[in-house]
């Protein structure tokens, strides 16, 4: 059975947010799982959050703490991308794999959507 532990040590790059492609030329948003935490680049700033499986709920249901984020300002459209990403990341409720990519399902107020991440290539 796939568990949250399978994600430990993995790195990902955001490719799609709520059905719309994210252009890496604008800014690269990354996600790294390590020892019960997630972190990465939110386009301009770096963020960190704790992640845990929710016991007794549906498989692959998770809870994240609100992301802690550095406070740099960046030019548009990078700030808009980051300001769209961070609230959705904080609202993630479930994860899974989809054709080799990582899919994070979120519920933000009345909006339900998905963040899709591709595996991040290893640095040389």
- Which CATH number goes with the domain that contains 39? 2.40.128.270
Domain presence at residue 47: yes
70-106 pLDDT, tens digit each: 999 999 999 999 999 999 999 999 999 999 999 999 9
31-71 pLDDT, tens digit each: 999 999 999 999 999 999 999 988 766 778 999 999 999 99
- HSE value, Cβ hemisphere, 13 Å, CA-based, for 104: 29
| C-alpha torsion sign, points 18, 23, 26, 30 | positive
Domain presence at residue 13: yes
pLDDT at 124: 46
pTM here is 0.91
Domain presence at residue 124: no
Domain range for 87 is 4-119
Domain presence at residue 89: yes
pLDDT at 57: 62
Residue 115: band (very low, low, confident or very high) from pLDDT cuts 50, 70, 90: very high
pLDDT at 56: 66
Which tokens go with 68? 């802690």
- Lowest average pLDDT, out of 22-26, 28-32, 61-65, goes to 22-26
Domain presence at residue 18: yes
Residue 37 CB coordination number (10 Å): 14
Domain presence at residue 94: yes
Q: Count up the domains in the chain and report the number.
A: 1
Domain presence at residue 69: yes
Domain presence at residue 34: yes
């Amino acid at each position: 059975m796939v568990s949250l532990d399978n994600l430990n040590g993995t790195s990902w790059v955001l490719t799609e947010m709520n059905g719309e492609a994210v252009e890496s030329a604008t800014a690269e948003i990354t996600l790294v799982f390590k020892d019960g935490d997630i972190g990465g680049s939110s386009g301009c700033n770096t963020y960190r959050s704790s992640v845990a499986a929710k016991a007794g709920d549906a498989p692959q249901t998770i809870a994240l703490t609100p992301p802690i984020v550095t406070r740099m300002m960046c030019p548009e459209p990078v700030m808009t991308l980051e300001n769209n990403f961070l609230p959705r990341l904080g609202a993630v409720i479930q994860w899974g794999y989809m054709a080799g990519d990582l899919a994070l399902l979120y519920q933000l107020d009345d909006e339900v959507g998905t963040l899709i991440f591709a595996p991040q290539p290893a640095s040389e």
